[in-house]
Amino acid sequence: MERVSGPVRSTPAHAATSESGGRRHARLICSIAVFLVAATMQPQALAQPAPERELSNPTATSAPPSASPSRQQVVIVSEGDDGDLKIDLPAYPSDADLIELRQVLRADLRFFVDTRSLQVTPGGEVRYTFVVRTAGGSSTVTFESMRCAARERMILAAGTADRKWTPARMPRWDALERNDMVGQRAVLHRDILCPARLPIRNVQEGVAALRSGIHPLVEPR
């Protein structure tokens, strides 16, 4: 029996089977490639910041840190056995809040009270900022407290040229007659803040008396 030598030719059925297997192989490779691409892109998508986190970007939306508020100035008043009393100093006076005392007439001096600084304490003291101006325009500014019944006053702080307070180091009570060169504080005591040696009841009452020039409980002179 003779054997036929030479290359073996593929039959049509074998060729169709090989072509079908090649397609499946190509589709499998495409599916794996798509899977790998999706797998590599997913972490990047998850790593992107959420829209609301963009607000945390300090260069885009954060406001600059606000300056720390200025420290409140106080004056320490010794009260003997009762210890020390801390008194807050008011804002420096503005011309818009000044009311002139017209009862004391001087050609070279004018006297004002700062209405915004007016205070009445539970113990009956009346505190105020007092402004004395010369004809040349210079001013002397003091923050004071007044005892109506005792007719005393205490300087708690003095103003400076740069419109700041210098608290008194050892404030003390002095009689109104002492060092009161023209009696302006005596007038303030008698006619405005301490009628009949009684303190005004509240700030509104004091402001009204300053504006009218005399407290309604005081007999006009």
pLDDT digits 0-9 by tens, 9-29: 545 544 444 555 556 655 656
Instruction: Say if residue 163's pLDDT is above 50.
Output: yes
Q: What pLDDT shows up at residue 124? A: 92
pLDDT at 206 over 70: yes
The pLDDT tens digits of the residues spanning 94-146 come to: 999 999 998 767 778 999 999 999 999 999 999 999 999 999 989 999 999 99
Give DSSP secondary structure letters for the chain: -PPPPSPPPPPHHHHHHHHHHHHHHHHHHHHHHHHHHHHHHHHHHHHSPPGGGGGG-TTTTPPPPPPPPPPPPEEEEE-GGG-EEEEE--PPP-GGGEEE--SS--SSEEEEEEEEEEEE-TTSEEEEEEEEEETTS-EEEEEEEEETTTTEEEEEEEE-TTS-EEE-SS---EETTTT-SSSHHHHIIIIII-GGG---SSHHHHHHHHHHSS-TTSPP-
Q: What does residue 218 show for φ and ψ, rounded to 5 degrees?
A: -95, 135
pLDDT at 85: 85
**pLDDT of 60-71, one tens digit each?**
334 444 444 456
